[in-house]
Structure 1
Amino acid sequence: MEKFLNDYMVNNAAKDGIPTVQFTFDALGVSPGYLSGMLKSITGEITQQHIHNKLIITAK
């Protein structure tokens, strides 16, 4: 997910905007429950928070 978000923020965010949670699930080929559970257990964040935090880090 980190690689996907990094690549997306660099290459697509300016023209396509922030990726949606559903777009992220689809791009990674995983179920929403699986990805959400993994992120919550590893980072303590829900998927939407993680995407927004990545956007903030990229913008800085």
Structure 2
Amino acid sequence: MSQADEIRQELERRNKETRQKIKKQQDEKEFREYLDDLGIERIDAPKKEKKLTHSGRRSRK
């Protein structure tokens, strides 16, 4: 196998992995949006942190 073939195969493998990751991210985003539309909060979803004010206290938002 020539070096060019090895490089081509490696690039094809990386491209396939990248496409799979992008597809997974899109599926997860669509699922999150679907749950939001239904008004369902995911238990495993990261909590949104409240922003701190300049004095270090939590904002009242």
TM-score, normalisation: structure 1: 0.26
| Higher fraction of helix | 1
> What is the TM-score with the length of structure 2 in the denominator?
0.26
Bigger Rg over Cα: 2
